């Protein structure tokens, strides 16, 4: 007791160090607490209060889905609420790296040598109107190629469960993602994806998703590009009900990498709240708008209860060494040839 207290008072150790020391101690681990009991300890120890229903439900869903307890601990310790509590007592709060459990052994994904291609596209139209808008023909070609080579789509929740809980993945897993939230995703991409028995992950700019047809918005963030209609929540809900995963692309497509910690945290929290409020499910992944992320924005992920940030480049995801702040993706644009995409697929 004296050692911990003196270290805190003379600032030789931080609140985060003490938190890690206690929660990761053999004595605490041997208590073998349930997820519910563990979470209640987190709220009492680091927030000095009982759980709020929304926060509790968010965290318990992630724990039950396979998110590691170390990641949850980091979320509490890196939060503004814990920092404020530490400041009240005159101690340094510090921070923790949440990680995301162990990486997946390549032997668990035998068909691709431990690699998972994550493809990224934006608007999909019968005929492309600009570089970031692919045609329905291109998307059909990609899906046909994946089907021919024996790939099966997975979600990021499947990836987390494989990492943290040992869930088996398909012989050849692939993740299909679409950014922004264009109406064409529902109108054109969704039927194509479904026709191949696939599912996809939608990264939405929640501030551009309307509540009804009369509230439908356009892509005002796409300066210099053709005007396109955006999704409305009923369309998003229909895709979610069909098995699509709904995740964050921020609120207004702003560059999170240029923001302060508090600004990035606010974007992450608000977009999560909108998605979970309208369609439910787990929102714990963000695709960085404009591929803009920084050490600051990545550090806000655990505090907002996110498990990963996703980049817009970088090639194939190697599961032996995952960068959870910037999971790589393979861009699919109008100038992308099917032969170049085939090069990513064994």
Q: Give domain status of residue 99, yes or no.
A: no
Quick: pLDDT tens for 149-207.
999 999 998 888 887 666 788 999 999 999 999 999 999 999 999 999 999 999 999 99
Quick: pLDDT tens for 5-34.
888 888 888 888 888 888 877 788 888 999
- Single residue among 88, 121, 137 that ends a domain in this structure: 88
Residue 153: count of CB within 10 angstroms of its CB: 23
Q: Give domain status of residue 93, yes or no.
A: no
User: What are 75-78's contacts with CB under 8 Å, separation 24+?
Assistant: 75/302, 75/303, 75/304, 75/305, 76/19, 76/42, 76/43, 76/46, 76/47, 77/15, 77/16, 77/19, 77/20, 77/46, 78/16, 78/299, 78/300, 78/302, 78/303
Q: Are 75 and 56 in contact (CB under 8 A)?
A: no
Q: Is 318 found in the same domain as 208?
A: yes
Q: Is 253 found in the same domain as 312?
A: yes
Q: Are 231 and 211 in contact (CB under 8 A)?
A: no
Going by C-alpha positions, the residue among 336, 330, 331, 334 that lies closest to residue 126 is 334
- Token readout for 346 is 């064994």
Q: Are 155 and 212 in contact (CB under 8 A)?
A: no
Give burial (CB, 10 Å; 0-12/13-18/19+) of 75: buried
Structurally, the chain folds into a number of domains equal to: 2
**Helix (H/G/I), strand (E/B), else coil: 74:** helix
Q: Is 304 found in the same domain as 184?
A: yes
**Helix (H/G/I), strand (E/B), else coil: 284:** coil
Q: Is 135 found in the same domain as 35?
A: no
Quick: pLDDT tens for 91-134.
988 877 665 444 444 445 555 667 999 999 999 999 999 999 99
Helix (H) or strand (E) segment spanning residue 299: helix 295-299
Q: Give domain status of residue 183, yes or no.
A: yes
Q: Is 43 found in the same domain as 188?
A: no
Residue 11's domain comprises 2-88
Q: Is 113 found in the same domain as 34?
A: no
pLDDT at 161: 80
C-alpha R_g of the chain = 21
Q: Give domain status of residue 94, yes or no.
A: no
CA–CA gap between residue 78 and residue 297 (Å, rounded) = 12
Buried residues in 310-343 as b, exposed as e (16+ CB within 10 A): bbbebebbbbeebebbbbbbbbbeeebeeeebee
pLDDT at 94: 84
> What value does the mean pLDDT of the chain take?
90
CA–CA gap between residue 219 and residue 28 (Å, rounded) = 51
Quick: pLDDT tens for 259-278.
999 999 999 999 999 999 99
pLDDT at 104: 46
pLDDT at 98: 64
């Amino acid at each position: 007791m004296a050692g911990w207290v003196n270290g805190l008072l003379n600032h030789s150790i931080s609140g985060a160090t003490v938190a890690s020391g206690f929660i990761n101690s053999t004595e605490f681990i041997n208590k073998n607490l349930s997820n519910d009991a563990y979470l209640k300890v987190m709220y009492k120890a680091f927030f000095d209060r009982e759980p709020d229903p929304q926060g509790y439900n968010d965290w318990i869903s992630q724990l039950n889905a396979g998110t590691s307890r170390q990641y949850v601990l980091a979320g509490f310790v890196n939060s503004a609420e814990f920092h404020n509590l530490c400041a009240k007592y005159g101690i340094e709060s510090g921070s923790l790296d949440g990680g995301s459990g162990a990486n997946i052994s390549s032997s668990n994904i035998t068909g691709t040598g431990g690699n998972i291609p994550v493809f990224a596209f934006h608007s999909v139209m019968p005929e492309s109107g600009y570089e970031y808008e692919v045609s329905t023909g291109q998307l059909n070609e990609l899906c046909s190629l994946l089907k021919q080579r024996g790939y099966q789509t997975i979600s990021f929740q499947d990836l987390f469960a494989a990492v943290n809980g040992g869930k088996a993945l398909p012989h050849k897993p692939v993740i299909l993602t679409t950014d922004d939230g264009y109406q064409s995703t529902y109108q054109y991409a969704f039927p194509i994806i479904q026709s191949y028995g696939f599912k996809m992950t939608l990264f939405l700019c929640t501030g551009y998703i309307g509540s009804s047809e009369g509230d439908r918005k356009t892509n005002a963030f796409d300066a210099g590009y053709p005007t396109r209609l955006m999704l409305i929540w009923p369309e998003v809900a229909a895709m979610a009900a069909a098995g699509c995963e709904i995740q964050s692309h921020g609120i207004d497509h702003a560059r999170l990498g240029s923001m302060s910690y508090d600004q990035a945290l606010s974007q992450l929290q608000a977009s999560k709240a909108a998605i979970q409020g309208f369609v439910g499910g787990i929102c714990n992944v963000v695709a960085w708008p404009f591929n803009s992320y920084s050490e600051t924005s990545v550090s806000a992920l655990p505090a907002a209860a996110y498990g990963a940030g996703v980049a817009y480049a970088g090639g194939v995801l190697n599961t032996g060494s995952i960068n959870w702040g910037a999971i790589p993706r393979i861009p699919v644009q109008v100038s992308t040839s099917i032969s170049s995409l085939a090069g990513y697929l064994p």
